[in-house]
Structure 1
Amino acid sequence: MTKDIKNPSYLPTKDQVRTFIEESDAPVGKREIAKAFNIKGADRIYLKKILKELVTDGALEKGRGQSLAAAGSLPSVAVIDIIRLDENGEPIGKPVKWDDETPAPTIYVGLQKKRGVKAVAVGDRYLAKLAKQPDGSYEATVIRHLTAASGPVLGVYTSTGKNGRVQPTDRKNKKEITILEEHSMGAQSGEVVLVDILPGRHFGTPEGKVTERIGPLGDSRSLSLIAIHAHGIPHEFSDAVKKEALSAKPVELADRTDLRDLPILTIDPEDARDRDDAVWAQRDESPENAGGWQVIVAIADVAHYVTSGSELDKSARLRGNSVYFPDRVVPMLPHELSSDLCSLHDNVDRPVMAVKMWFDANGNKIRHKFMRALINSCASLTYRQAQNAYEGHPDHVTEELAQTVIKPLFGAYEALKKARDKRQPLNLELPERKIELNEDGFIKAVHKKVRFAAHMMIEEFMIQANVCAAETLNQLRRPCMFRVHEPPDREKLEGLQEILSEMNISFAKGQVLQTATFNRILAQAENETDKELVSTLVLRSQSQAVYSPDNKHHFGLHLKNYAHFTSPIRRYADLLVHRSLISGLGLGNDGLTNEDAENLDDIGVHISGLERRAMVAERQTMDRFTAVFLANKVNEIFQAKITGVTRAGLFFSLDETGADAFAPISTIGHDFFVYDEKNHSLFGERTGVTYRLSDRLAVQLREVDIATGSMIVSIEDGSGRSSYDAGARRRKRNAASGKPGAPGKKSFSKKKKTMPKGKKRAAAKKARNT
């Protein structure tokens, strides 16, 4: 680094100039800087020298022309590529030129039809104007479309004689790609392929070249890869990362607390790919805490192996989290760590960050203590094994552990449950789907996950450990990556109140919001099906949980201090919390660095976005797996409930599998249906038939699109005729006669003589004009 130059007192310091540039919304030049500080004449030489020094030091970067910007920032105009679409279909971009080692900032791309940009695909390139946002991201306004999507595009290949075509798997990308025979790599109909768009001006269908044959569409490997490629999820580790992982060695006891004689164990799902946490509990023998409990939660000490600034650390931050699919996991850390040295397998020594907690008889935490320790798990149990052993049905593994190890765990949970019930966290009933695969990787069954008391026990232990981490860092005044869940927005609650009133569930939206408020709503649901629906509606009204260094509390759990501490193998946020605890408690020299502490805001935004990406990818893959399973059940009848009502039609959830399906309005019944936005219903003008949110109906599965995971159903009217058949006949008849309603045309029924008056007339008119 060069020495700081001497500056006259009436001129700005180097730090002042740097701050001015960093706080500018866009790169600035010497002229703008001189004007801002009133630098004139010979003093411009001084300005030129300090700017050169800031560039040499790496604090500034040269932009286009003579412009300057803070290191790691983007210019006001840049060329960007579309790398993915977020869960709302909004294009996310990345600068073409980005040489910084840190991840490029997120760019949200706003497309403007007036500039001729009507659609977007992953791989498209644009010249755009960039505006930096307070959270470090950028908003891009498109100036010009430079090239069409160049790939790779993931899609399904269909042979059309000698040549073929590819239909993209992205629901929002409707443009097919022509593949000439010489560019097909021998792909067969029904195969998932990766395609590069060939250069050239495509006024019609673009031409492409197959670069990789993934496999048959129904194959589980193909289904997962669709999501991996569509969302740009990194699924391979660099040689440098692999090298660091392979060099990792088992940990010796050294200064760690020795907990290897403790009968600690892990309890996980049957298909667990990694084991982050181990638990132990026993009665507190202290006479001052009669009926109380001691609980230890031990978490894999990932910070020992993944140190700040290492190749492993850079890779973990880039990924943000592991992504779980029915047939595989895309891990945040290489296999050597995630499934071996960091995973708390039984009968082997493993390093942990552990917290010992003391609770009274009513489950209230008295105190806690963190330690860096070494454990040797006595067993790796499934939830079902632990539950069966507690209920008096142990197997050969749990027989010796049932009374001395497993029973105390449930005993401690019963105490903690008292405090939990008093606290009243949000108690949603949201069943999860589970895909069961057979030995060759194909789908055997789709069913709802069974939830045991053992699940809730481990969940509550983990919540308490997370609270301890946040409380400790607060007390130490150390940086913390909190898990923040803010109260729901009032506007969302207005829609919720309207829906609940249709279900005869009372909800005064003007009251002070607490989790107990929503729990009272759930208690009013008449049956399990209604509880699931109300839980979904309440969930939709909630804010999105995020990671942030600002402690804004966790509304859903009704907790003032909450951070994620218990899953550092699969979440980068947890690793940061571990490092901060290590630094704050003096547990080693591999804690949180000052640089990371200063960048927690940006890191929080980054990993929150990656979490949402993973959630969308996992959900879409579940949809595709379910579609494969139901593909051979077309025309079968299913019981379902209406989960969404729109002008376009009705959304359903099938009872048996939890699969989502859609009934287009053009196929519903023998009537013209008007959308009532306020009451979330469709009203038949002629028949008066009304479909409302939460209605239960029998539906017939009509179409399954495995590539997108979407399904079309029709409503059964009890006469043996389907609404789908009626709609299909009407469209066919109209197509033959040239009337409205033919495929590709808007279809509205003729005006009735007995037109409803008042609101119904206005609603019908609004629907026709939409």
Structure 2
Amino acid sequence: MTVERPLPSKEALRRFIEAAPGKVGKGEISRHFGLTSDQRPALRALLKDVLAEGGAMPAGRRGLAAPGKLPEMAVVEVFGTDPDGDPLARPLGWKAEQGAVPLIYMRPERAGQPALAPGERVLARLKPAGRGRYDGTTVKRIGSTPARLLGIFDDGRIKPVDRRHRAEWEVPAGEAGGAEPGELVLAEPLPGRPMGLRPARIIERLGRMGEPRSVSLLCIHVHGIPHVLPDAALAEATAARAVTPEGREDLRAIPLVTIDGEDARDFDDAVWAESVGDGWRLLIAIADVAHYVRPGSALNREAWLRGNSVYFPDRVVPMLPEALSNGWCSLKPGEDRGCLFAEVTLDAAGTKTGHRFGRGIMRSAARLTYEGFEAGEDPAGARDALLGAYAALQAARDRRGTLDLDLPERQVRLDGAGGVLAVEPRARLAAHRLVEEFMIAANVAAAEELERLGQPCMYRVHDRPSDEKLEGLRTFLATFDIALPPGDRVRPADFARVLERVRGTAEERLVNETLLRGQSQAAYAPDNIGHFGLALPRYAHFTSPIRRYADLLVHRALIRGLRLGPDGLTEEEAGRFPETGEHVTATERRAAAAERDAVERYLAAYMAHRIGDVFPAHISGVTRFGLFVTLEATGAAGIVPLASLPDDRWLQDLPRHALAGQRTGLRFALGQAVEVRLAEAVPRTGGLTFHLMQGVPARPRGARRR
């Protein structure tokens, strides 16, 4: 006689489903708990209750899986790429009530297979790779129809503005939505026909391409950046009022100053210093965003969604409404503002001897600009002490041996109509470095204080280069008789010595660019691995909560740990730190991609009337399908297709980042100075195509040197 075991409890059933590597069926559940066939009806009733309560979710025709867990096979849609260029995907049809969207890292395709592109859908085999993450392998390609497409409407067609999507779309009669030729439009695909152009319906008109602000608007849509704040968040920002001095340390007598760019509209950090004996006392005051943006509020939901502000040449997409970013959280001169502050003490050598944090009320003594400070402006009498403290901090930085790559940053200057006036190198002044060093000091202190308090910390982490990248760097540097320490003993100071050795030589740019490509990307995470580039064992972001959500979390954690108010970090937020770290890292990289994209499109528009001109440039990338070049004057970058090079058999030399011609003996390497002729400029996509003058017998007729 078979003795029936009791049915498992709902909790035991949930734990079993959670622990299973994939979906499970009633058979596996019965075997695991030793149930008989007579108990099947009772098991079905129990499973129905667990499903209704959200303890499990359907998977396939008859399987079950834990909430948020994906089955072993699923249809996924590619939406972007990771820092190494490998596709990222999400499950198709995921519903908001199922929780955070799982992130799927698609493994590289088989040799000879075209890479997966954004918008493409595949049946994938999935393998769990940590909480909310999966490794995916393509089983079958299904299609590549995007959910939305952005393009220029002209002659009944839509020409995509994303250079990854080349095919045009046809707009059937009655589906244009009133759009006029030349307008930038957002459209959705319609059920297609097997032959000819695929049909699409225009659902939103975004203005005429070439009009002021159209480039940034285009980039906002291409990269999916949230830019419209809901009424609830706007109402909360409008209802905000000034802080009162109660419960705050009064800093209004201290002449704190803000130092920002000429065109800055919000001022969220202020600095002050004084000499104390042989050392220095610093104050870094940061706008008290946590006072206005509370956990569970509409403002907080929007800030989390955006992750950070996005900066274009003609506009900013702020993380928070302007009533806060340009109002109550802007440290305007002569106005009382709430702040969180870090007080940092240094010895004469710049080594930190102590710190403390508090919640205060302050009144900025002056709004300074980088250029004005550099020129000697000193309305608050703060300049000498600030420079003295900066010199001490810089000395400490030099002793650490940080990685300081010398790569010029470009800025786009626009006229009143939104046209490009000039593209110039962005000045790197001592005032920039001063503010940067003060902010680093506060960020380090914040990480140390949260560890002392036993509070969660959202670290800013930067890993050492991977073993594979280090080996590539060693091989590359060996061609210049430069060696790196063996194994994993490489430190930022080793790279600093390499940069010093090549400074002023013909190889300086090449080495700088190659070392940059060999570094890991920085990220946000609750688990500390240190910051390799800054040579710091612990580092957080504390200094810009108005434009970075990670900083707001650090403020809340300090408020909770130091008992500075009721608006500190909640347990629920702390429990989501791993997912939030991944999310804000992704939004930061999305913002960086959109900002680069905007500059590229502005540059393409600027260059469009220079077709045929010849420019000095250098090679900034080497691939098997051609070269990437960057112009010296503007920083505009484009491709030299392999087909445009002199007729030869071209071989890629990976260790030396070069292409070598077997018959001609021509060789093109990363960093090499070249002359290029502009062959094509497409402002719609930001694409530039060049032809090399090296190996060409004569300059084409009419080509002008620039």
TM-score by length of 2: 0.91
Compared CA separation, residues 428 and 717, structure 1 to 2 (3 A): closer
Query: Which deviates the most, 618-627 or 46-55?
Result: 46-55
For residue 23 of structure 1, report the CA deviation from its aligned partner: 2.9
Please say if residues 505 and 525 of structure 1, whose CA atoms lie closer than 8 Å, have aligned partners that are also in contact. no
Conserved 8 A contact 1:83-1:92: yes
Contact 1:670 1:723 in 2 (8 A): no
| Structure-2 residue corresponding to 1:388 | 375
Residue 369 of structure 1: which of 352, 356, 360 is its match? 356
**Taking structure 1 as reference, are residues 149 and 603 closer, same or farther at Cα in structure 2, changes over 3 Å only?**
same
Counterpart of 1:98? 95
Query: Residues 539 and 677 (structure 1 numbering): CA distance in 2 closer, same or farther, change over 3 Å?
Result: closer
Letter in 1 for 2:561: G
- The 1:662/1:33 distance shift into structure 2, 3 A limit, reads same
> 2:264: which partner in 1?
272
Query: Cα RMSD (Å) of the superposition?
Result: 3.2
Q: Name which of 530, 538, 558 aligns with 1:553.
A: 530
3-state secondary structure, aligned to 1:566: coil
- Residue in 1 that maps onto 2:22: 26
Deviation, structure 1 residue 131: 4.1
Partner residue of 1:730?
A: none
Q: Which residue of 1 aligns with 2:573?
A: 596
What residue number does 2:541 align with? Answer: 564
CA deviations on 1:423-449 (whole Å, 9 max, x unpaired) are: 111111121110111112221111110
Given candidates 278, 282, 285, the residue that maps to 1:291 is 278
- How far apart are the structure 2 equivalents of 1:108 and 1:675? 28
- SS across alignment from 1:375: strand
Structure 2: gaps of 5 or more residues = none
Q: 1:233 to 1:477 in 2, by over 3 A?
A: same
Would the alpha carbon gap of residues 466 and 528 (structure 1) be closer, same or farther in structure 2, given more than 3 Å must change? farther
Structure 1 residues 376 and 488: CA distance shift in structure 2, 3 A: same
| Deviations 1:160-212, CA, capped at 9 Å, x for gaps | xxxx3222122221221123464445655544222222223343320223333
One of 210, 215, 221 as aligned partner of 2:213: 221
Query: Could you list the per-position Cα deviations for residues 195-239 of structure 1 after superposition, in whole angstroms to 9, with x for gaps in the alignment?
Result: 222223343320223333323433452221222222211111222
User: Pick from 479, 484, 492: which aligns with 1:515?
Assistant: 492
Paired residue type of 1:265:
V
- Cα offset for 1:405? 1.3
How far apart, CA to CA, are the structure 1 residues paired with 2:30 and 2:212?
61
Once the two structures are superposed, the pairs formed by residues 250-329 of structure 1 within 5 Å of their partners are: 250-284=242-276, 290-329=277-316
Query: 1:240 pairs with 232, 242, 248, which one?
Result: 232
Q: Does 2:133 match 1:137?
A: yes
2:350 corresponds to 1:350? no
SS at match of 1:584: helix
What is residue 172 of structure 1 aligned with on the other side?
164
Q: Is the 8 A contact 2:150 2:221 kept in 1?
A: yes
1:135 to partner: Cα distance: 4.0
Name the CA distance, whole Å, in 2 between partners of 1:679 and 1:129: 37
Counterpart of 1:346 in structure 2: which amino acid?
Answer: P
1:431 counterpart residue number: 408
Q: Contact (CA 8 Å) 1:155, 1:167: kept in 2 or not?
A: yes
Answer with 671-680 or 323-332: which moved more: 671-680
Question: Identity of counterpart residues, as a percentage?
Answer: 43
In 2, the alpha carbon distance for the partners of 1:510 and 1:625 equals: 44
Aligned 8 A contact 2:282 2:344 in 1: yes
1:644 alignment partner, SS class: strand
Q: 1:244 to 1:105 in 2, by over 3 A?
A: farther
Q: Identify the residue that residue 750 of structure 1 maps to in structure 2.
A: none
Q: Give, in whole Å, the separation in 1 of the partners of 2:436 and 2:597.
A: 26
Q: Shift of the alpha carbon at 1:519?
A: 0.6
Check the 8 A contact 2:86/2:107 in 1, yes or no. Answer: no
Deviation at 1:408, TM superposition (A): 1.2
Q: How far is 1:123 from its partner? A: 5.2
What stretches of structure 1 of length at least 5 have no aligned partner?
1-7, 285-289, 727-770
1:38 aligns with 2:34: yes
Alpha-carbon shift at residue 20 of structure 1 (Å): 2.7
Q: Residue 53 of structure 1: CA displacement?
A: 6.0
Whole-angstrom distance in 2 between the partners of 1:498 and 1:385: 45
Amino acid at match of 2:525: S
Deviation at 1:563, TM superposition (A): 0.9
Aligned counterparts of 2:650 and 2:242: Cα–Cα separation in 1: 67
Corresponding residue of 1:764: none
Taking the aligned partners of 1:52 and 1:185, their CA distance within structure 2 comes to 46
Alignment partner for residue 623 of structure 2, among 614, 636, 646? 646
Q: 1:187 to 1:12 in 2, by over 3 A?
A: closer
Code of the residue aligned with 1:18 in structure 2: it is: R
Distance 1:683 1:99, change over 3 A: closer
Taking structure 1 as reference, are residues 55 and 352 closer, same or farther at Cα in structure 2, changes over 3 Å only? farther
Conserved 8 A contact 1:268-1:381: yes
Provide closer, same or farther for how the CA distance between residues 610 and 181 of structure 1 changes in structure 2, counting only shifts above 3 A.
same
Question: Does 2:663 match 1:699?
Answer: no
Alignment check: 8 A CA contact 1:89 1:172 kept: no
Map 1:145-224 onto structure 2 (within 5 A). Answer: 149=145, 151-159=147-155, 164-180=156-172, 182-185=174-177, 187=179, 190-224=182-216
Does structure 1 retain, via aligned residues, the 8 Å contact 2:510–2:670? no
**Superposition map of 1:76-87 within 5 A:** 80-84=76-80
Offset from partner CA, 1:304-350 (integer Å, 9 cap, x none): 11222222222222221112111112222222222222222222221
Q: Are the aligned partners of 2:25 and 2:63 in contact in 1 as well (CA < 8 Å)?
A: yes
CA distance in 2, matches of 1:148, 1:643: 31
Contact 2:109/2:115 (<8 A) preserved: no
8 Å CA contact 1:111–1:118 kept in 2: the answer is no
Q: How many angstroms apart in 1 are the aligned matches of 2:474 and 2:107?
A: 33
CA distance in 2, matches of 1:210, 1:347: 50
Q: Go from structure 1 to structure 2 and tell me whether the alpha carbon gap of 1:509 and 1:97 turns closer, same or farther (over 3 Å shift).
A: same
Which residue matches 1:752?
none
> 1:643: how far off?
1.8
Counterpart CA distance in 1 for 2:243 and 2:62 is 53
SS of equivalent residue, structure 2 residue 605: helix
Deviation (angstroms), 1:642: 1.4
Aligned-partner SS, 1:524 = helix
Does the 8 Å CA contact 1:673/1:683 hold for their aligned counterparts?
A: yes
The equivalent of 1:630 in structure 2 is 607
* Of 140-149 and 345-354, the range deviating more from structure 2: 140-149
Q: Tell me, in whole angstroms, the C-alpha distance in 2 between the residues paired with 1:101 and 1:268.
A: 43
The count of corresponding residues between Structure 1 and Structure 2 is 699
CA gap of 1:46–1:535, structure 2 versus 1, over 3 A, is: farther
CA distance in 1: counterparts of 2:343 and 2:126, whole angstroms = 49
List aligned pairs for 1:380-529, cutoff 5 A: 380-389=367-376, 394=377, 398=378, 400-401=379-380, 404-503=381-480, 505-507=482-484, 510=487, 512-527=489-504
Q: Evaluate the alpha carbon distance shift between residue 38 and residue 301 of structure 1 in structure 2; reply closer, same or farther with a 3 A threshold.
A: farther
Provide the C-alpha distance between the structure 2 equivalents of 1:21 and 1:140, rounded to a whole number of angstroms: 21
Q: Distance in 1 between matches of 2:505 and 2:208?
A: 38
How much has 1:31 moved relative to structure 2? 3.7
SS in 2 for 1:440: coil
